Structure 1
Amino acid sequence: MTVLRTPLLQTLRPALPILIGASLMLSLSMGLRQSLGIFMQPLTHDVGISIADFTLAIAVQNLAWGFLQPLAGALTVRYGFRPIMLGGALLYVAGLVLMASAHGMLGILLGAGVLIGVSLACTAAAIAMSVATRSVPVTVRSTVLGMVSAAGSLGALMAAPLGQILNQDYGWRVGLVGFVVLSLVLLPAAWFAGRVDNIPLPKPANDEIGNTSAGVAVRTAFTNAPFVVMTCAYFVCGMQLVFITTHLPSYLQICGLDPMLSAQALGVIGGFNVLGSLFFGWAGGRWNKLALLGGIYITRSLVLAWYFMHAASPATTLLFAAMMGFLWLGVGPLVAGAVAEMFGLKWQAMIQGLAFMSHQVGSFVGAYGGGVLYDSLGSYSLAWRIGVATGLAAGIVQVAYALIRPSEPPLVTARS
């Protein structure tokens, strides 16, 4: 009860360096990555590759991120968070340098695809959320996860306008050099976040899997029905979001709108994501996290349908960005909190990574599939219709399951 009466800032004061480091790391890794679509049109024309080629690199990035996320999470159990995060930060810098100096598809594929994808597995949401979860008391966990998730959008507020200004005035290569400079801040951020390694894990409860092996933890996760439903629905989340970040700048250019509007839209998404993440972090501590996730997917799909059914204009684009931004990374605190509640803290990063694999397969489909459909049909009409239909289906199933089976029996007895 003492913790509940303590002001939030006082409660978090011992963990502030860790939380600031994790938030800054997440903000930059996500903000830079979400803004790469700004360079798609000039880069593809200059280097001599197609839109589908560029989106293939982004799709590879998402697959590398997703499939290596469980491995990165498991390695934090063995080696600690700090070396994994620092290694990821270095790879991010190297990926942007290679991308900025590329003269063909190989450099784009290795830089934007492989290196940044591996880096994100070590620096982005699953790792940052696990760091935050371990560093704070359970009574404020959901609120703190919302705060860290909100910080994950602030990088786009800086990166997108900076990248667009440099791109317009000096070319896409200089714009990416600006991103390289920003990415250097990942190194001190990862160092401070790595202080979490000094915090001992709490003793696992009887229904957690803290004392099991990684193999048992994986099997337990995939035999838990709420986790499986959440993981399948997570596919659509990745497909919708990466489709927007990758293809919205191109769509606005096709519509003949000011190129700066795409950067403004990404910035608005980042700004409203702060509000959405804080709200859903707060809401996740009060209502069913899985039902809230389903509500996000349904609402996103309706907003996506509304926007693409009308002619794009600066006003409708910014309104779309605001609504979508509010629903953007709100899934982060909900998924992280649900995994921690289901399975405990020791294997949280790995198990959250398993769910994230599905998200990233969806991201691959959203990025590459959108590019293929555009190159084939000359428009994004079919792509957004698919995004709306699958989003509504996933959201309805997620909400229905959460309401029908709001809780599961204990998962596994902790083993020595």
Structure 2
Amino acid sequence: MSIFRFPLLVWLGIGILIFSLGIRQSFGIFMMPISDTFGTGREFFSFAIALQNLLFGFFQPFIGMASDRFGSKKIIIGGAVAYGLGLYLTSIATEPSMLYLSIGALIGLGLSATSYVIILGAIARVVPAEHTAKAFGLTTSAGSFGMFAVIPGAQALLNQFDWQTAMQIFALMCCVMIAFASFMKATKENETSANAPMVDDSQTLKEALQEAFSNKSYWLIHMGFFVCGFHVMFIATHLPSYLADKGLPAQTAAMALAYVGIFNIFGSYFWGIMGDKFDKRYVMTSLYLVRTVVIAAFVTLPVTENTAVIFGGAIGFCWLGTVPLTSGLVRQIFGARYLSTLYGLVFFTHQVGSFLGAWVGGRIYDYYHSYTPIWWLTVVMAFIAALIHLPINDKPVPRLVAHHAS
């Protein structure tokens, strides 16, 4: 299936992700103006963003369950409203503690309803199983494209207006997500469309959870995605400080992170295509082996401006390639009916890994006064994650086999 023949819902989902994740990725450039306004220092704003990420993961399984029950359209619209409200309340906040509710809780809730888990769950119901990973890869790459589409615009807004006005314009942009979601067909219609894969509606949510929790492969998928979260947040949070410790200018870190985003666009789609053509378990193992080699080479070779940028591109190429493969494995094993719930739980594990990656990285640095131990820990974790995916049984559960046979 050519990407141009994907159902309209896929392209609507991509549009929603560009705005949802693009706005989220821009929050870093608001740190200094917001911190200056409230006179709180940077730690306060950083904690509000950390709270947002933790709640993003905490809300995700419950939002996924609601999406599987009531349909993705209603959930995305509700999430966009919460997102916009969080942005607006941030812009009119008079006390810094208000940010815990606005940019922390409300936007964390909004993200859980407008990002990968819900969008991929909706797409899984309209794209044939053999093209799922490709569709998921294309959709995942939209998040990185949003990073480059929205962040320059956010900087331009800050140059032209104050940060409060920029936040209010972002709040209005959430209306675009509502508009895109309003064109998405209801879940039941998607499931019964001519192009939709057959879905077993006889299983209850409780039965789906029991089936997944008793499946060893499901827990191996959790463990692998935990490592991904640890890697991504450790590198995103601590790479600039690591490069500064090596005496490199700040623009080197910015360029390295920019390369992460650029190469992630291509990498997410590439790994998605590979997941459709080859066994997803072995593709995932290959991805983590690439990470192992890339990180080990980076900490072994002399750190220069060139090696920092090359590292950004190399690690970016396998940055979020895990998303289409992980969600594709969950869909392949358990079916599309409760994908938002089951992948939502896996995503929560990813966010726990992200939280620990940011926190443990700083803790180890404070203890050893060096990032070297944590870098080598990420190398070991990458290699273990490569091995973890080999024993996964990726065959559909017996329930699905029996259903399709009938």
TM-score interval, normalised by the smaller of the two chains = 0.7 to 0.9
- Following superposition, the deviation at residue 88 of structure 1 comes to 0.8
- Following superposition, the deviation at residue 262 of structure 1 comes to 4.9
1:106-148 deviations in whole A, cap 9, x for unaligned? 2333333222221121111111111212122334333222221
Partner secondary structure for residue 211 of structure 1: coil
TM-score (norm 2): 0.84
Q: Is residue 307 from structure 1 mapped to residue 295 from structure 2 by the alignment?
A: no
Describe the shift of the 1:228–1:278 C-alpha distance in structure 2 as closer, same or farther (beyond 3 A): same
Hey, what does 1:88 align to over in structure 2?
Answer: 79
Give the 5 Å matches for 1:324-339: 324-339=315-330
Q: Is residue 143 from structure 1 mapped to residue 131 from structure 2 by the alignment?
A: no
Q: For 2:116, give the aligned amino acid.
A: A
- Following superposition, the deviation at residue 36 of structure 1 comes to 2.8
Deviation larger for 338-347 or 30-39: 30-39
Report the Cα distance in structure 2 between the residues aligned to 1:370 and 1:194, rounded to whole angstroms.
44
Contact 1:31/1:159, CA 8 A, preserved across alignment: yes
Q: Is residue 37 from structure 1 mapped to residue 28 from structure 2 by the alignment?
A: yes
Question: Among 111, 124, 135, which residue is 1:120 paired with?
Answer: 111
Q: Is residue 161 from structure 1 mapped to residue 149 from structure 2 by the alignment?
A: no
Report the Cα distance in structure 1 between the residues aligned to 2:332 and 2:186, rounded to whole angstroms.
23
Describe the shift of the 1:131–1:282 C-alpha distance in structure 2 as closer, same or farther (beyond 3 A): same
- Following superposition, the deviation at residue 98 of structure 1 comes to 3.7
TM-score (norm 1): 0.82
Hey, what does 1:272 align to over in structure 2?
Answer: 263
Contact 1:231/1:355, CA 8 A, preserved across alignment: yes
Report the Cα distance in structure 2 between the residues aligned to 1:129 and 1:21, rounded to whole angstroms.
12
**Structure 1 portions without partners, runs of 5+:** none
Q: For 2:58, give the aligned amino acid.
A: F
Partner secondary structure for residue 329 of structure 1: coil
Between the aligned residues of both structures, percent identity stands at: 32
Contact 1:142/1:333, CA 8 A, preserved across alignment: yes
Report the Cα distance in structure 1 between the residues aligned to 2:3 and 2:191, rounded to whole angstroms.
22
Report the Cα distance in structure 1 between the residues aligned to 2:103 and 2:81, rounded to whole angstroms.
14
1:246-297 deviations in whole A, cap 9, x for unaligned? 4445555666656555554444323212211221111111222123223323
- Following superposition, the deviation at residue 310 of structure 1 comes to 5.5
Q: Is residue 354 from structure 1 mapped to residue 342 from structure 2 by the alignment?
A: no
Describe the shift of the 1:370–1:101 C-alpha distance in structure 2 as closer, same or farther (beyond 3 A): farther
1:210-237 deviations in whole A, cap 9, x for unaligned? 4221111111111111111011111111
Question: Among 109, 113, 117, which residue is 2:100 paired with?
Answer: 109
Give the 5 Å matches for 1:59-70: 59-70=50-61
Hey, what does 1:410 align to over in structure 2?
Answer: 398
**Structure 2 portions without partners, runs of 5+:** none
Hey, what does 2:182 align to over in structure 1?
Answer: 191
Q: For 2:21, give the aligned amino acid.
A: M
Q: For 2:131, give the aligned amino acid.
A: V
Describe the shift of the 1:183–1:337 C-alpha distance in structure 2 as closer, same or farther (beyond 3 A): same
Contact 1:167/1:173, CA 8 A, preserved across alignment: no
Hey, what does 2:224 align to over in structure 1?
Answer: 233
Q: For 1:72, give the aligned amino acid.
A: I
